Structure 1
Amino acid sequence: MSDLLAQLAHRIGDTHVLTDPQTIQPYLTDWRKRYRGKALAVLRPASTAEVAAIVRLCHDAGVSMVPQGGNTSLCGASVPDTLGNAVVISLSRLRQIRQVDPVNQTLTAEAGCTLVEVQVAAAQQQRLFPLSLASEGSCQIGGNLSTNAGGVQVLRYGNMRELTLGLEVVLPDGQIWDGLRGLRKDNTGYDLKHCFIGAEGTLGIITAATLKLFPRPLQQCTAWVALSGPEDALQLLGQLQQRFSDRLTAFELVSDVCLQLVTQHIPGSRSPLEAPSPWYALLELSDGAPDDRLAGDLLATLAESPVQDAAIAQSEQQARALWLLRESISEAQRLDGPSIKHDIALPVSAIPAFLQDTAALLQHAFPGVRLQVFGHLGDGNLHYNLSHTRPGNVDLFDDEAQANRIVYDQVAHYRGSISAEHGIGQLKRDTLPHYKSALELKLMHQLKASLDPKGLMNPGKVLV
């Protein structure tokens, strides 16, 4: 392999072919510290042409490739396996905002741009790129596309599939597909970009994307409200949608268990309400009108809803503090100790019954289990996590397979999905065949074999 590494160094420069074990370790460990792999080298190309050169060399040598963005994957999709015969291709040097077209309402960014950098570039042109995630300071657009990221504003704007108009992709043999079109309508055959969005780098390497932009809202209203249960949350969601339509941009469900974790582990955090409640909703309204009626209209709606108490942000700083409570949940969970995580999607109407029935089954199987539930109620995406009440007690992991089976069987019963926005990666690869039809899996394997016949692109992820 020394000849290959020498050829790679000639293409992208010696300093961007990393082999020192200590230097490459961060690239080989996932954010949750659950997966640790090995690699021949970490490669850091600076352009699409350099990515293509790397892929051609690796393709000809029969060397597997693992594309990596910000390495914030929660399913182990962005790190190699333990065989040590793959290279990691980090896209972090592809950082150009190639174009912002405020008239066409589009932005073209390279895959290594962080989500925040894209948001800022849009804001500088008085536009909005609405994808918003807790990891937006470190996650990269290529990774957002590869996992079909959703975030908190899917309710109004959709996930990355809906936010993407075109892609540039390096195919497994090193060819470059230029599909960077800023068109809302293009009915010229198969929409190829959808093959790569959500594919987790198993069909090619996304190097750039043309994304949709929107007018920046001139008025926003953010509120944290107390609710007695998920049924009341659904009732409130319906009332808000009826009253505000698409001005309701976010509706997040948070259990009191999650709020307690945040106030316990995140310095400076506190509940915005005086009395605790079993459940909370964090909601946001946005409007293009500059008047100040939004808060008053929200108050009137809340007065006719099952809300028990509410805190409405009076400033941007207060709104940010409310969102920080929601965005800090994952970090608070990490600090609290191990947990079994599930990122699931359900029909919105089925969520109360799912929560009640699944909690009963888990409590029967694992007495004392603590459920840490939060997520995007407006689009049916729950982050359904299990832990013990005593931090550091990892006995539950001895029966992780049984716990997963209970949760996923319930998801299937309610005609949901075992992955909403985190992907499959390594974490759910072996589980997927139990909940995906044989025909769907056959078609996925056929697509993989067609585009990547040597099986070199991110092996061991998504498909068994």
Structure 2
Amino acid sequence: MDDTSLIRQHISDLLGPQGCLLAPDQRQPYEKGARYGDGRSLCIARPASVDEAAELMRLCASEKIRIIPQGANTGLVGASSPDRSGLDVVLSMERIKGVTDIDPVDRVVQAYAGTRLSDLNQALKQHELYFPIDLAADPSIGGMLAANTGGARLIRYGDVRHNVLGLEALLIDPPGQRLDLTNRLRKNNTGPDWKQNFIGSGGAYGIITQALLQVHPLPQQCATALVVPASLQAAALLLRDAERNFSDFLSAFEGISHNAMQAVLQHIPSIQAPFEPLPPYVFLIELSSARPRSADFDLEKLFGAWLEACFGDLILDAVIDKPEVLWRIRHAITDSVRQEGKVIAFDIAVPRSKLALFRDEAIALLEQSYAGVKVYDFGHWGDGGLHFNLVLPPHLADDYPPQRIHALRQEIYDLAVHKYYGSFSAEHGVGPFNQEFYERYTAPESQALAARVQTVFDPAGLLGLTRFGTAP
């Protein structure tokens, strides 16, 4: 029996047949990422408890085997996929799941890392609470922390980082050691906040096993509208006016381009066009409140009055409809655009006051240097995020080899980062897919410091594929 077969046997003995997947057809869903990443693993390890996960880490550390932490495998930068060596162990947290505590007074929920967002919110619903990170996917809680997920309602609730009170993690040095940071206090100014090292670092510093999350009252009324701005330049003024008028009631301000909307209507016939003809750009604006609707507090009436007052200067048209109707359009964009051709996806952020200028300049760049590429953008205009997604029609595939697509990507990133002081990864994090851009745009001093920290947590380089710099 060779070394790899022996290691597989040890892992199988530790975790059992349900906890160690060896057959290629069993491994494949864990080896291929949602968008990027398609490797080959030594095996898929699925521990059923934190103790089993800790023991697995000790085994892998003793054999110098790299571990690829994985939640629901919904990430978009390849961080949860193995490389092609066939030597990595994918550690799936999907069996370590469940909500263990809900405190309605503190508005805190404690859950294991493998718990899906949908299951978490289902458990919270009976207490009229929810975790308001809105996503088209259904990620695991551990994955959401590791990626510091954003979502469509960041404008009101912030990202995951803003809603984490505490967590527990397993360290690789010493191997399998539990680090208990499960503090549920909102105020605890007693030194370094170590949990922040594990949020947004993609599992590079340790494997999150549990989380304590701040949750919010479930909205009792919502008002949503698709709004056609007088111009994209007027969008910033419209956003500012909405914030001034509605303050904390404003929970989403999402942009949808003509092409993105057209793709949804073309590929999902059951969705009706909200406007005829479709405008160049629309915004999905949402107001919500935990206070029930009453004669003296009705968000739809307040919303309608505000929209009417904005007509002419800021708004050309608007449609008010049920939230589930309008959000169905927004959540259908990604899958619909994928059917238009090869997607060149971007997850960009710039100051929201500059979004329209950035978009105009990026489109002009494409028209000048990359003929035929179509823009299907949408995004979180309320927080400066833009999914500036492009589609390469099939008939142009020969004109755009990988090298040209890479050059296109770099030009768009250069524009966003260097001219508009933006980010090349607004909410998807850093992984093998965009590692080179992290190295291109992150200050050398920051990379050096991050590398030193990563070396402290993972001196042998056994956790994941992402490296935040090179230690001196």
Query: TM-score, with normalisation over the residues of structure 1?
Result: 0.95
Post-superposition offset of 1:400: 1.5
Q: Quote the Cα distance in structure 1 between the aligned partners of 2:355 and 2:283.
A: 14
Q: Report whether the alignment pairs 1:421 with 2:427.
A: yes
- Tell me the distance in 1 between the aligned counterparts of 2:245 and 2:224: 16
Cα pair distance change 1:127/1:71, threshold 3 Å: same
Is 1:364 the counterpart of 2:368 in the alignment? Answer: yes
In the alignment, which residue of structure 1 is the partner of 2:318? 310
Return the alpha-carbon distance in structure 2 between the equivalents of residues 76 and 26 of structure 1: 13
CA contact (8 A) 1:227 1:278 kept: no
Number of positions where the alignment pairs a residue of Structure 1 with one of Structure 2: 457
**Partners of 1:299 and 1:88 in 2: how far apart?**
51
Q: Determine the C-alpha separation between the residues in 1 that align with 2:341 and 2:395.
A: 5
Shift in Å at residue 281 of structure 1? Answer: 0.3
SS of 1:384's partner is coil
Q: What is aligned with 2:155?
A: 155
| Alpha carbons of structure 1 residues 94 and 395: separation in structure 2 relative to 1, 3 Å | farther
* Corresponding residue of 1:268: 270
Q: Which amino acid aligns with 2:11?
A: L
Query: What corresponds to 1:26 in structure 2?
Result: 29
Q: For 1:308, what is the secondary structure of its paired residue? A: strand
Partner amino acid for 1:31? A
Q: For each residue in 1:380-424, what CA deviation from the matched residue of structure 2 results, as whole angstroms up to 9, or x when unmatched?
A: 111011223557746435311211121111111111111011112
Task: Indicate yes or no: 2:91 matched with 1:83.
Answer: no
The amino acid of 1:156's aligned partner reads R
Q: How does 1:52-201 map to 2 (within 5 A)?
A: 52-136=54-138, 139-172=139-172, 173-201=175-203
Partner of 2:347: 343
Alpha-carbon distance in structure 1 between the residues aligned to 2:72 and 2:401: 27
1:439 to 445, 448, 451: 445
Question: For the Cα contact (< 8 Å) 2:431–2:465, is it kept in 1?
Answer: no
Which residue of the partner structure matches residue 452 of structure 1? 458
Per-residue deviation, 1:463: 5.2
Answer whether contact 2:257 2:378 (CA < 8 A) is retained: yes
Give the Cα–Cα distance (whole angstroms) in 2 for the partners of residues 459 and 367 of structure 1.
35
Which amino acid is the alignment partner of residue 321 of structure 1?
A: V
Structure-2 separation of matches of 1:143 and 1:394:
37
Deviation at 1:81, TM superposition (A): 0.6
Determine the structure 2 residue equivalent to 1:13. 16
What is the alpha-carbon distance in structure 1 between the residues aligned to residue 32 and residue 349 of structure 2?
27
Shift of the 437–72 alpha-carbon distance from structure 1 to 2, 3 Å rule, reads same
Paired residue secondary structure (1:175): strand
Distance 1:188 1:367, change over 3 A: same
- CA distance in structure 1 between the aligned counterparts of 2:350 and 2:164, rounded to whole angstroms: 24
Task: List per-residue Cα deviations over 1:112-146 (Å, max 9, x = no partner).
Answer: 1111111111111111211110002xx11111111
Once the two structures are superposed, the pairs formed by residues 224-373 of structure 1 within 5 Å of their partners are: 224-290=226-292, 291=294, 292-305=297-310, 306-313=314-321, 318-373=322-377
For the residue of structure 1 that corresponds to 2:226, the secondary structure is: strand
2 CA distance for matches of 1:394 and 1:260? 26
Using structure 2 for the length normalisation, give the TM-score: 0.94
SS in 1 for 2:278: coil
Shift of residue 354, structure 1, vs aligned partner: 0.8
CA contact (8 A) 2:79 2:465 kept: no
Query: Aligned partners of 1:371 and 1:191: how far apart in 2?
Result: 41
Matched with 1:47 is 49
| Cα shift at 1:7 | 2.6
Is the contact between residue 362 and residue 415 of structure 2 (CA under 8 Å) also seen in structure 1?
yes
C-alpha distance in structure 2 between counterparts of 1:288 and 1:339, whole Å: 39
Change (3 A) 1:323 1:397: farther
Q: Secondary structure at the match of 2:224?
A: strand
Aligned to 1:386: 390
Instruction: Report the residue type matching 1:40 in the other structure.
Output: L
2:34 is matched by which residue type in structure 1? W
Helix, strand or coil for the counterpart of 1:453? coil
How far apart are the structure 2 equivalents of 1:30 and 1:461? Answer: 19
> How many angstroms apart in 1 are the aligned matches of 2:221 and 2:284?
17
**Which 10-residue stretch deviates more, 182-191 or 283-292?**
283-292
Shift of 1:337: 2.0
Superposed CA offset, 1:195-240 (max 9, x none)? 0111111111111100001122221111111224321222211111
Structure 2, unpaired ranges of 5+: none
* Contact persistence 1:429–1:463 (CA under 8 A): no
Alpha-carbon shift at residue 321 of structure 1 (Å)? 1.7
% identical equivalent positions = 37
Which residue of 396, 411, 414 corresponds with 2:416? 411
**Structure 1 unaligned spans of 5+:** none
**Whole-Å separation in 2 of the counterparts to 1:70 and 1:250:** 25
